[in-house]
Amino acid sequence: MRGGSRISSTFWGLAGIAIFLASWELATRLGAIDPTIFPGPAAAIRSAVQRLPASVFLDNMAWSLFRVIGGFVLGAVAGTVIGFAAGWYRGFGYLARPLIELLRPIPPLAWIPLAIIWFGLGEPSKFFMVFLGAFFPIVTSAYHGITHIDSSLIRASRSFGLKGLGMLFHVGIPASAPDLATGLRIGWGLSFGVLVAAELIAADRGLGFMIMNERNSGGSVSVIIVGILLIGLLNLVTDAALAALIQRWIGRWHGA
Amino acid sequence: MREQLTQALVALLLIAAILLGVEFGVREGYLKAYEFPPASRIVQGFVELTTVGFPTGVTLWTHILVTVVRIAKGYVAAIAIAVPLGLLIGALPVLDKMTAPLVVFFRSVATLSLLPLAIVWFGAGELTKVILIGYGCFWVMLSNVIAGVKYVDPALIRAARSFKVHGWTLYREVVLPAALPRMFAGARVALGVGFMVIVGAEMIGTIQGLGALIMEARSFYRSEITVIGMLVIGVLGFLISSGLAALERLLLPWGGGLGETSR
């Protein structure tokens, strides 16, 4: 039953993708949309590859990945540590909570001007932007997780003599892992979106820069379309990889 | 109660300490006013922004209005298309299976990466901004509507069936109310996406709107105005999302299981 339904969703999913691509291709062939400003999938890939060598695509992709992973790791570490600490230690919570609550409603992209003022136009400002995208969802979910632990877990572990850091590491963190996992996934998506936007507005390499530069220099729509598809695919693949990693990590405590 | 009082007191003291620290640091020359605008300048900038305007003639209220109208247009259009479409997809399993990978993919495409393409198609004007906001809100809303309809507790449906409730009545009386909390959660997340997208979209090709304000201010070395713009965006987003949450509690007293982090 399960296996059958999985096969049928794969089948229908592929059918859906095929129908989408076919109608896009047909619309340009039949002239329903103007192929010079909206080429079909086959034509777009063909002319994008002709215009730019594959190494340019790969190079920009590598830069984007490097920035998003670097900034995300910084944001995830800071968010997890501060979130757990704010939930676990009352005094630190009093200090950290108001600052987080004050800054959280500001959309990460609104920091771009300050990021440039503080860190210039180079790599550090990109890392800072991605960091912000990751930090707020992760710190919120870590805090939420650690402050919503089943109190019977705490009582049970106390009666086994656990306290302080031992309790935090053996009970607190494992019990709040599912919340943290949600935050990590949301943070990854947000980091990615923030990075692309930051690259569009102020950068000299990366996928976001590549497509914006193509439009500013009057280049080809095909490169823009292929770039957008690459950005989507990269986000999709890396998100799936992150989900698998998280599953392996928290699967130890929370079942598969 | 005592805990909240302590928290409020600590928060006030902390923020006062930071503001005073920056003020003092700038006055004594440890910090550059351009990098860390002190509160006194921010207050002056606020007065200038609300009277003279920045750029001259465009006051803060105009910026706010322009931004809110852009978000509202894209948001309302996105919800108006996503809700009926999501209800349809959620109700037809085959259609759901066919569209699932497409929905996931289009959600993964970073909305602002569409900016160059949208400029090619629609120019750098209003339409591009509204369409980008609409795009971002649409996919978030759509996937939440689909999920809302699809993941209705099967026990509810079985119970209704055993009371001989079928077809359209079942859909209207059971499925729809059960899906509404999820849809509302989607509407809240979508609004957050709208706020995020507008800031980026306004940084290019306009001088009106809060995103343009904070970016323009930087080019003129008026970082205190950038900070005001950021705070205004934050407050605006906070107010509107609290308003939606209050509306949800009022309209859907049976919901409430879905928290801030769920998606």
For B125-170, write each residue's pLDDT tens digit.
899 999 999 999 999 999 999 999 888 888 888 888 888 887 788 8
On whether residue A13 sits in a domain, the answer given is: no
On whether residue A23 sits in a domain, the answer given is: no
In this structure, are B63 and B167 located in the same domain? yes
pLDDT band at B255 (very low <50, low <70, confident <90, very high): low
User: What is the extent of the structural domain holding B55?
Assistant: 45-255
Segment 44-63 of chain A within 8 Å of chain B by CB: none
Nearest by CB: A231 against B113, B226, B259: B113
The mean per-residue pLDDT over the stretch B99-113 comes to 93
The mean per-residue pLDDT over the stretch B24-50 comes to 91
CB A63 within 8 A of CB A234: no
What is the ipTM metric for this complex? Answer: 0.87
On whether residue B263 sits in a domain, the answer given is: no
Mark yes or no for CB contact A235/B115 under 8 Å: no
pLDDT band at A3 (very low <50, low <70, confident <90, very high): low
pLDDT exceeds cutoff 60 at A2: no
The mean per-residue pLDDT over the stretch A140-150 comes to 90
pLDDT band at B259 (very low <50, low <70, confident <90, very high): very low
In this structure, are B126 and B15 located in the same domain? no
How many residues would you count in chain A?
Answer: 256
Pick the residue of A68, A94, A214, A230 with the most B CBs within 10 A to test the interface with B by mutation. A94
In this structure, are B215 and B95 located in the same domain? yes
CA A50 to each of CA A220, A223, B52: distance values in angstroms, whole numbers, following the listed order: 11, 10, 52
pLDDT exceeds cutoff 90 at B258: no
pLDDT band at B261 (very low <50, low <70, confident <90, very high): very low
On whether residue B37 sits in a domain, the answer given is: no
Question: Is the model more confident about B188 or about A218?
Answer: B188
pLDDT more than 70, % of chain A: 97
Mark yes or no for CB contact B6/A38 under 8 Å: no
Give the tens place of pLDDT for each residue, B217-244. Answer: 988 889 999 999 999 999 998 898 888 8
pLDDT of A4: 62
On whether residue B154 sits in a domain, the answer given is: yes
Q: How many domains does chain A fold into?
A: 1
On whether residue A32 sits in a domain, the answer given is: no
pLDDT exceeds cutoff 90 at A171: no
On whether residue B39 sits in a domain, the answer given is: no
The mean per-residue pLDDT over the stretch A201-209 comes to 89
CB A112 within 8 A of CB A201: yes
On whether residue B181 sits in a domain, the answer given is: yes
Interface residue A79 vs chain B (CB under 8 A): no
Interface residue A236 vs chain B (CB under 8 A): yes
Residue in B closest to A12 by C-alpha: B98
pLDDT of B256: 53
Instruction: Look at residue B256 and give its three-state secondary structure.
Output: coil
SS3 of chain B: CHHHHHHHHHHHHHHHHHHHHHHHHHHCCCCCCCCCCCHHHHHHHHHHHHHCCCCCCCCHHHHHHHHHHHHHHHHHHHHHHHHHHHHHHHHCHHHHHHHHHHHHHHHHCCHHHHHHHHHHHHCCCHHHHHHHHHHHHHHHHHHHHHHHHHCCCHHHHHHHHHCCCCHHHHHHHHHHHHHHHHHHHHHHHHHHHHHHHHHHHHCCCCCCCHHHHHHHHHHCCCHHHHHHHHHHHHHHHHHHHHHHHHHHHHHCCCCCCCCCCCC
On whether residue A213 sits in a domain, the answer given is: yes
**What is the distance between the alpha carbons of residues B102 and B138, in angstroms, rounded to a whole number?**
13
On whether residue B83 sits in a domain, the answer given is: yes
CA B106 to each of CA A15, A42, A85, B103, B147: distance values in angstroms, whole numbers, following the listed order: 17, 19, 37, 5, 16
For A203, counting Cβ atoms within 10 Å of its Cβ (0-12 exposed, 13-18 middle, 19+ buried), the class is buried
pLDDT exceeds cutoff 80 at A237: yes
The mean per-residue pLDDT over the stretch A248-252 comes to 80
pLDDT exceeds cutoff 90 at B82: yes
pLDDT of B263: 35
User: Can you state the angle between helices A221-254 and A173-201, rounded to 10 degrees?
Assistant: 170
In this structure, are B80 and B54 located in the same domain? yes
Q: Which residues of chain B neighbour A225 with C-beta distances below 8 Å? A: 117
Q: What is the pTM of this model?
A: 0.89
CB B161 within 8 A of CB B101: no
Pick the residue of A5, A11, A100, A117 with the most B CBs within 10 A to test the interface with B by mutation. A117
On whether residue B201 sits in a domain, the answer given is: yes
In this structure, are B160 and B230 located in the same domain? yes
On whether residue A27 sits in a domain, the answer given is: no
Q: Which among B243, B234, B237, B14 is positioned nearest to A97, based on CA atoms?
A: B14
Q: How many domains does chain B fold into?
A: 2
Shortest distance between the Cα of A27 and any Cα of chain B, in A, equals: 16
**What is the distance between the alpha carbons of residues B230 and B42, in angstroms, rounded to a whole number?**
12
In this structure, are B26 and B62 located in the same domain? no
CB A140 within 8 A of CB A100: yes
User: What is the extent of the structural domain holding A221?
Assistant: 53-254
State the CATH number of the domain containing residue A172: 1.10.3720.10
pLDDT band at A161 (very low <50, low <70, confident <90, very high): confident
In this structure, are B199 and B116 located in the same domain? yes
In this structure, are B128 and B194 located in the same domain? yes
On whether residue B18 sits in a domain, the answer given is: yes
In this structure, are B18 and B52 located in the same domain? no
In this structure, are B140 and B11 located in the same domain? no
In this structure, are B12 and B49 located in the same domain? no
Nearest by CB: B195 against A9, A20, A107: A107
In this structure, are B133 and B223 located in the same domain? yes
On whether residue A235 sits in a domain, the answer given is: yes
Question: Is the model more confident about A3 or about A119?
Answer: A119
On whether residue A210 sits in a domain, the answer given is: yes
pLDDT of B207: 87
The mean per-residue pLDDT over the stretch B88-96 comes to 90
Residue with tokens 């899906």, as numbered in its chain: B179
State the CATH number of the domain containing residue B180: 1.10.3720.10
pLDDT band at A54 (very low <50, low <70, confident <90, very high): confident
On whether residue A123 sits in a domain, the answer given is: yes
